[in-house]
Amino acid sequence: MGVDVGIKIKMLDESNVPQIEIEVSDQDNSLGSILDGSSEIRYLSVNLNDEKFLTQEELEKIKLYYDPEQEMVMTSNILDSNEAVRIFDKIFRFTYRRLSNSLEKDIEKINGFQIDEENKSSRRKSQISEYIGFEYSLGVTIGILKSAAKIYPKVQIIGEYY
Tens-digit pLDDT profile for residues 61-99: 999 998 788 888 999 999 999 999 999 999 998 888 889
pLDDT higher than 70, residue 157: yes
Q: Is 49 helix (H, G, I), strand (E, B) or coil?
A: coil
72: left (phi over 0), alpha (psi -120 to 50) or beta: left
101-137 pLDDT, tens digit each: 999 999 999 999 999 999 999 999 999 999 999 999 9
As a whole number, the mean pLDDT across the chain is 90
pTM value is: 0.88
Distances (CA, A) of 123 to 113, 114, 141: 10, 13, 27
Q: Is 47 helix (H, G, I), strand (E, B) or coil?
A: strand
Q: Is 70 helix (H, G, I), strand (E, B) or coil?
A: coil
Query: 16: closest CA among 142, 156, 159?
Result: 156
What is the CATH architecture of 5-161?
3-Layer(aba) Sandwich (3.40)
pLDDT higher than 50, residue 1: no
